[in-house]
Amino acid sequence: MRYHQSGNIPQKRHTIFKSPEDKFYYEQLFGTEGFHGISSLLYHVHRPTQIKSIGEPKDVTPKIAIDKNVTPRMFKGMNVTPEDDFMDSRKFLLVNNDLKMGLAKPRKSMDYFYKNAECDELLYVHNGSGILKTFVGNLEFSFGDYLIIPRGTIYQVELNSDDTVFFVVESHSPIYTPKRYRNEFGQLLEHSPFCERDIIAPTFVEPKDEKGEFLIKVKKENQITDFIYATHPFDVVGWDGYFYPYKFNIKNFEPITGRIHQPPPVHQTFEAHNFVVCSFCARMYDYHPMAIPAPYNHSNIDSDEVLFYTEGDFMSRNHIDLMDFTLHPGGIVHGPHPGAMERSIGKKFTEEYAVMVDPFKPLKITEEAMKVEDPSYKTSWLEE
């Protein structure tokens, strides 16, 4: 992340800051990791602490169908059920102690505010468009955008249509750009497949100076609790720092290619504790005269591998539809489907787009996932 400033802020932090009407603004430190991690300072029209009431928590713990999995699996994302409400639509398919991932197909915009109080969120836009409204500004989104939302961000999602689809990752640790692509000052290096120009910060919006009853749904420890606040949460007159939501579009990722097949780490886009996120993008294939563009068989001993297919024709797989998930558990050999290796020889480029998540701890399979599983996938490498 890089430093960003928006709206009006005082010259010195932790000092008196007043409106033109001589009313105090109220400072809030927004950050994680006990004053050690990156943070921002926000300045509110009203105290951001004015709770009027707190409702009973609603349990949203994903129900586990398979606790220990060694079976290759495919889940048909097309068959995940849409819901009107944004939070109800969030169906987690694969989870462990580090993350949850799945799909959300909300049909309506949010008429409340939401805060994830323990997880960073990654929302990848597979379909649809709209506006992510937050207390530090707005981000317009459309196909291919990664929306990275730090824990504690208060936000709303406004949709332009009822067919929006998000690939969702909730991370119990911060989601960062890969450390190996940053220098000691945090700047992305010349060999990074993207740069700061590709990372879009929120657009500032004039503060909402409103009193009343404002519902913020707060998620923590797999419970969602309704908080009613006395003032509008989007009353920030200005902020600065390194901690804020942003977007990055998958088509701004510049693929790293070579004469022979490159391993998956060249596709890495984000990292967190115990998992990475990679972007497979349209790119030139390997250019050695004897190159085999299809990936070689591999067993990923130390991590599971999840691929979410979002655009184009994925050359290493047969019978893959958009929105499909494939899961390959660590330690079990996997590779191209029969005929895929041979078909790839001589090909010059691919137009495929997919998001890959590699967790370093085994994934559990939820009941939601089993509703949409294709049970034939595990034997789909048999030669006919």
pLDDT digits (tens, 9 = 90+) for 238-256: 999 999 999 999 999 999 9
Tell me the percentage of the chain whose pLDDT exceeds 70: 99
Tell me the percentage of the chain whose pLDDT exceeds 90: 82
Give the pLDDT band (50/70/90) at residue 1: confident
Residue 346 has pLDDT above 90, yes or no: no
Other beta carbons less than 10 A from residue 339's beta carbon = 12
Other beta carbons less than 10 A from residue 87's beta carbon = 16
Residue 230 backbone class (left: φ over 0; alpha: ψ -120 to 50; beta: rest): alpha
pLDDT at 384: 63
Backbone angles phi, psi at 157, to 5 degrees: -115, 120
Residue 204 has pLDDT above 90, yes or no: yes
Segment 343-365 mean pLDDT: 92
Beta-bridge partner residues of 41: 29, 240
Backbone angles phi, psi at 285, to 5 degrees: -80, 175
Distance CA 187, CA 311 (A): 30
Distance CA 362, CA 317 (A): 23
* 334 marked as part of a ligand binding site: yes
Catalytic residue among 46, 261, 267, 337: 261
- Sign for the CA dihedral angle at 375, 373, 307, 71 comes to negative
Least confident range of 43-57, 66-80, 164-178, 306-320: 306-320
Cα→Cα distances 52→8, 212, 215, Å: 28, 10, 10
| pLDDT tens digits, one per residue of 163-186 | 999 999 999 999 999 999 999 999
Residue type present at position 69: N
pLDDT at 315: 63
| 8 A C-beta contact, residue 324 and residue 354 | no
* 304 marked as part of a ligand binding site: yes
pLDDT at 349: 84
In whole angstroms, what separates CA 262 from the centre of its chain? 24
Segment 89-108 mean pLDDT: 98
Full-model pTM: 0.95
* 44 marked as part of a ligand binding site: no
Higher pLDDT, 104 or 316: 104
Cα→Cα distances 80→73, 106, 115, Å: 16, 11, 24
**What pairing do the DSSP bridges indicate for beta strands 113-116 and 211-220?**
parallel
In whole angstroms, what separates CA 329 from the centre of its chain? 21
N residues, the chain: 384
Residue 145 has pLDDT above 90, yes or no: yes
pLDDT at 11: 96
Beta-bridge partner residues of 284: 349
Catalytic residue flag (residue 288): no
Structure token pair of residue 249: 């579009």
Residue 228 has pLDDT above 90, yes or no: yes
pLDDT at 318: 66
When the pLDDT of each residue in the chain is averaged and rounded to a whole number, the result is: 94
Q: With residue 344 as reference, give the H or E element that holds it.
A: helix 340-344
Strand order in the sheet with 4-7: 4-7, 236-241, 39-44, 26-31
